[in-house]
Amino acid sequence: MITTCGNIVRLIKNDLDRFLLLLFNWIVLYPKKVLDEFL
Element holding 25 (H helix, E strand): none
d(CA 37, CA 20): 25
Q: Is the pLDDT of residue 30 over 90?
A: no
- For the chain, the domain total comes to 1
Q: Is the pLDDT of residue 1 over 70?
A: no
Residue 16: pLDDT band with limits 50, 70, 90: very high
The per-residue pLDDT of the chain, averaged, comes to: 88
Check residue 39 and report its DSSP letter.
-
Q: Is the pLDDT of residue 20 over 90?
A: yes
Task: Say what the pTM is.
Answer: 0.54
d(CA 30, CA 25): 6
C-beta neighbour count of 26 within 10 angstroms: 10
Domain housing 15: 1-39
Q: Which stretch of 8-12, 22-26, 35-39 has the lowest confidence by average pLDDT?
A: 35-39
